[in-house]
Amino acid sequence: MQSQVKASVMEAIGETPVVRLGRLFRGANVVAKLEYMNPGGSIKDRMVRHMLRQRPADTTHVVESSSGNTGAALAMASAVLGLRCDVTVPRTTSTEKVRRIAAYGAEVHLCDPDDYHAAAERLVDEHGAHYLDQYCTPLNREAHYRDTGPELWRQLAGELDVFVCGVGSGGTISGIGRYLKEQNPRVRVIGVEPLHSSYRKLVTDAPADGSFSTVVEGVGKRQPSQSFDPSVVDDVVQVKDADALDWCRRLAREEGILAGGSSGCVAAGIAALLPKLQGQRIATVFPDSGAFYLSKYF
């Protein structure tokens, strides 16, 4: 018998289950990787772990701007590694997410939604701290290329035709998408975002169509992020907020999967795509838990 004890929660990141959505998508072949089963509660644990492995050796203080999950992942890792941690979040972030970051002992700065990245940069300049900068660093998509992508491919035993993925920073879809296409160039990669977000225009030359705002946390951007790699994404579909939240509730009630609004968004996107994807094997990831949005969506 070999001990299975982990040295810390950092080693409990990953190896999340892949589950068939057989009740919501009856007769179709749709599976989801449940990333809310990571110890920090989201897929961002993987990215933060990868980024911190590459941090400068003299780092004692880390800063990030985050809609919540990256902040929680960084706060969790900072607790384990003994780092000081400051996180700037937009004021619109759910109370549960803000408290979750603070619970790990990090300092949370509530900012104007147009200023939370600049606020992080000011903190970095002021304290000489290390900035993770998920919207710009190549380490974001590299984490998913090296870790999440290979893990998903192995769990599916390579049985996959279409990878559908919500897009926020774009790191997840770009990293996993690139890895999957390298294994099988016939795999199609389709992004899902809220209505009027900016990635569809980037990939499909769709005309500009109104101003962007969403209640679905984690997906959609007014301006595309540098972490998004349009060369691996074949198409992007857009979903109304009401449909995202409807599918989020259905995931809980019909599949027993309590996932966040971005998972509802991607499930709604898959539902819209299904008529065109008959007989295809579809996989997605559900980035975080519905437990973080009980007062907001449920």
Q: How many CA atoms lie within 13 A of 117 on its CB side?
A: 8
Q: Which of residues 240-279 bind ligand PMP (CB under 6 A)?
A: 260, 262
Helix (H, G, I), strand (E, B) or coil at 240: coil
Size of interface with ligand PMP, in residues (CB under 6 A): 17
Residues 54 to 73 in contact with ligand PMP, rule: CB under 6 A: 67, 69
Contact of 47 with 134, CB cutoff 8 Å:
yes
For 86, list phi and psi in degrees, rounded to 5.
Answer: -120, 135
Q: Which residues contact 286 (CB under 8 A, 6 or more apart)?
A: 32, 33, 34, 35, 36, 251, 257, 259, 260, 263, 266
Of 7 and 32, CB closest to ligand PMP: 32
**Choice between 22 and 150, CB closer to ligand PMP:** 150
> Which parts of 136-195 interact with ligand PMP (CB under 6 A)?
166-172
Least distance (Å) between residue 42 CB and ligand PMP: 6
Q: Which is nearer to ligand PMP, 97 or 188 (CB)?
A: 97
Query: To the nearest whole angstrom, how small is the minimum distance from the Cβ of residue 166 to ligand PMP?
Result: 4
Residues 6+ apart with CB under 8 A from 117: 65, 88, 135
- Which CA distances in Å does 129 have to 66, 95, 159, 278? 16, 26, 44, 50
Residue 38 found at the interface with ligand PMP (CB under 6 A): no
| Shortest distance in whole angstroms from residue 265 CB to ligand PMP | 8
Residue 33 among the catalytic residues: no
Smallest separation, CB 194 to ligand PMP (Å)? 11
Nearest residue to ligand PMP, by Cβ distance, number only: 218
**287 touching ligand PMP, by CB under 6 A:** yes
Nearer of residues 147 and 217 to ligand PMP, judged by Cβ: 217
Nearest 5°: the CA angle 131, 135, 138 is 85
CB of 228 to ligand PMP, least distance (A): 7
- Alpha-carbon distance of 72 to 101, in angstroms, equals 5
Q: Which part of the chain contacts ligand PMP (CB under 6 A), choosing from 9-17, 107-115, 216-224, 234-242?
A: 216-224
CA distance 246 to 255: 13
Q: Which residues of 32-55 are buried (b: 16+ CB within 10 A; e: fewer)?
A: bbbbbebbbbbbbbbbbbbbbeee
- Beta carbon nearer to ligand PMP, 58 or 114: 114
For ligand PMP, the closer CB: 22 or 291: 291
Q: Shortest distance, CB of residue 225 to ligand PMP, whole angstroms?
A: 8
Question: Which position among 13, 76, 219, 245 is part of the footprint of ligand PMP (CB under 6 A)?
Answer: 219
Beta bridge partners of 238: 193
Catalytic positions, please?
A: 44
Q: Where does this chain bind ligand PMP (CB under 6 A)?
A: 42, 67, 69, 166-172, 217-219, 260, 262, 287-288
